[in-house]
Chain A
Amino acid sequence: MTDFKESPIMYGIALAVIAFIIAQSLFFAIKSWKHGKKLGITSETLKNTVISSVLFTIAPSISILVTVIVLANALGIVLPWIRLSVVGNLAYETVAAETSLGVLGGSLSNPVDNPVAFSTIAWAMTIGAGFPLFYLPLVCKKLQMKIGDTINKNDNTKKLGDVLSAAAFIGIISAFIARAINGCATTKELVLDSAGNQMLNEAGEAITKNVITESSGVISILTLICAIIFMLIFTALCQKVKKLEKFESFAMPLAMFAAMGCAILFTKVLPAELSTFTWYSVGGVM
């Protein structure tokens, strides 16, 4: 019964979902391409958008793939694959699986062999993540029209709209930069007694602890700084050297890859006590 998580039927369900996602994405890609041409956007700009988006997406996609593999230990490969392809979210799916296993008695480090536990996890993941799809069509149009009307009132409001959208963008990036400088992530793990059995509280639920899985530190800050420097150099080169002008759209993914390369280099070159230094001790309890 251990194979049910990766049976042909599970793969069939996954392929149906993947086909849906590809169909929807292709539909919007074709519609926007055609409308872009109507608006007079050049084929070169549209092509550059496609190529730079492909390059931009590869590294984060591999990160998402790594989450699929991590979750596969407990849930088999197919369910995490489906969940991270539709409304999936790196953080949510892991937390949903951990919370479910915490209540049902288990952890992400052991395979789930009970079909009821497996289906419960699938339901918990879906119900939590699907909520925005209920209300998005109800609010999206109204909100977008309201924003458009307010911004397009006069020249001043147009300028203010531009500045505020830059401010919102900076706000988004600031959250990630702050996390690279000073943040950490935890995962719930079962508390075991000296004999290796899971400990239960008075209500009969498994007792868990928050274990730090990753933390910002020397390498995350150095990678951040390298990414900023590479991006500024690549952009300046593309703007100054005429031949490189058309490559400006690729400066960002290239800077990202270069900074990831630096993370490898720093880990190899710096003394271990420096390269592994993080503000919060990975593996410790929070």
Chain B
Amino acid sequence: MKTYFYKLHKWGAVWNYAALLAMYFVPVAISVYLNAWPTLGALAKILPPLLILYWPTGVIETVTYIPMLGAGGTYLSFVTGNISNLKLPCGLNAMENAKVKANTEEGEVIATLSIAVSSIVTTVVIAVGVLAFSPVLPKITAEGSLFKPAFEQVLPALFGALGAGYFFKHWKLGIAPVLSGIIVLLFSPTMGVGILMFITIVVSIVGTLIIYKNLWLPEFKKMKEAKKK
């Protein structure tokens, strides 16, 4: 088990840093090609509000996703992006279907496979869409188009279907996080899902710890007694 994990982390790190180079290759190539480099002054104005908003979210997302997706899934998702709205639900759904759990070797295999497939499909759909359908697509999603309402509701449809089984099985655990999400949105309706997700996860975990206190309280008491001795 450990050998596979070590290998995954090695492959992950190599691909990860290669992706970083590939990513920075794009603006460098654009600047060289156009002979147009950004001024530091403009970047100094643009970046602070973006970084204040997105870098902490990035850290929170890392801590959230690693336990859920495992090493392979996390490395791959962070390179290909669109994690919360696609890769994460896809990996979780695959593990649920294959009846394997996160943090096991089987879970690692299924999550990685499903996220790899999802990344290929997304890349192909976007590439084909851009190369072949870009003149037609705006019409499909334009105001008044038959399909517009469907594409506006992808996320409620996706997370309703994904959550159905879980909420049915663990309805007690679902009430507090959904309610807390709705209440937070009452005060801050435009809050990004990355931050909102952190709040609902914390509420969900605290609620679960209260409901299942018999699982951790004896262990916690033992640890406390051992420390006293």
User: When the two chains form the complex, which single residue of A27, A140, A183 contacts B9, counting CB atoms closer than 8 Å?
Assistant: A140
Find chain A residues with CB under 8 A from B125 CB: 57-58, 61-62, 64-65
Pairwise interchain contact A128-B164, C-beta atoms closer than 8 A: no
Known interface pairs A49-B110, A122-B27, A133-B79; A260-B189 also in contact (CB < 8 Å): no
Q: Is residue A271 contacting chain B, with contact meaning CB distance below 8 A?
A: no
Pairwise interchain contact A118-B30, C-beta atoms closer than 8 A: yes
Pairwise interchain contact A49-B20, C-beta atoms closer than 8 A: no
User: When the two chains form the complex, which single residue of B163, B189, B216 contacts A183, counting CB atoms closer than 8 Å?
Assistant: B189
Q: Is residue B226 contacting chain A, with contact meaning CB distance below 8 A?
A: no
Pairwise interchain contact B113-A135, C-beta atoms closer than 8 A: no
Residue total for B at the interface (Cβ-Cβ under 8 A): 155
Which residues of B83-112 have CB atoms within 8 Å of chain A's CB atoms?
A: 83-86, 88-90, 92-94, 97-98, 101-103, 105-106, 108-110, 112
Pairwise interchain contact B11-A174, C-beta atoms closer than 8 A: no
Q: Is residue A199 contacting chain B, with contact meaning CB distance below 8 A?
A: no
Pairwise interchain contact B80-A21, C-beta atoms closer than 8 A: yes
Pairwise interchain contact A160-B76, C-beta atoms closer than 8 A: no
Residue of B nearest to A73 (CB): B138
Find chain B residues with CB under 8 A from A61 CB: 86, 121-122, 125-126
Which residues of B46-86 have CB atoms within 8 Å of chain A's CB atoms?
A: 46-47, 49-51, 53-55, 58-59, 61-64, 66-68, 70-72, 74-76, 78-86
The size bracket of the interface on A is 35 or more
Pairwise interchain contact A68-B189, C-beta atoms closer than 8 A: no
B96: shortest Cβ distance to chain A, in Å?
A: 8
Q: How distant is the Cα of A169 from the Cα of B93 in the complex, in angstroms? A: 11
Pairwise interchain contact B189-A167, C-beta atoms closer than 8 A: no
Pairwise interchain contact B27-A123, C-beta atoms closer than 8 A: yes
Q: How distant is the Cα of A184 from the Cα of B187 in the complex, in angstroms? A: 12
Known interface pairs A133-B20, A178-B200, A180-B155; A173-B81 also in contact (CB < 8 Å): no
Pairwise interchain contact A175-B137, C-beta atoms closer than 8 A: no
Residue of A nearest to B1 (CB): A148
User: When the two chains form the complex, which single residue of B54, B72, B88, B152 contacts A92, counting CB atoms closer than 8 Å?
Assistant: B54
Pairwise interchain contact B24-A141, C-beta atoms closer than 8 A: no
> Which of B186, B202, B208 neighbours the largest number of chain A CB atoms within 10 Å of its CB?
B208
Contact with B along A187-221 (1 / 0, CB 8 A): 00000000000000000010000100011100111
Residue of A nearest to B173 (CB): A170
Pairwise interchain contact B151-A168, C-beta atoms closer than 8 A: no
User: When the two chains form the complex, which single residue of B19, B43, B67, B126 contacts A120, counting CB atoms closer than 8 Å?
Assistant: B43
Which residues of B159-174 have CB atoms within 8 Å of chain A's CB atoms?
A: 159-168, 170, 173-174
Can you report 9 residue pairs joining A to B where beta carbons are below 8 Å apart?
Answer: A28-B15, A28-B113, A53-B115, A86-B79, A123-B27, A171-B177, A172-B200, A183-B191, A235-B165
> Closest 8 A-B residue pairs measured CB to CB?
A178-B181, A227-B160, A171-B201, A171-B204, A174-B177, A231-B164, A137-B13, A120-B38
Supply 13 further A-B pairs (C-beta < 8 A) apart from A16-B22, A164-B208, A224-B159: A4-B34, A20-B19, A49-B98, A65-B126, A69-B141, A144-B103, A156-B219, A168-B201, A172-B84, A182-B185, A214-B152, A220-B156, A227-B158
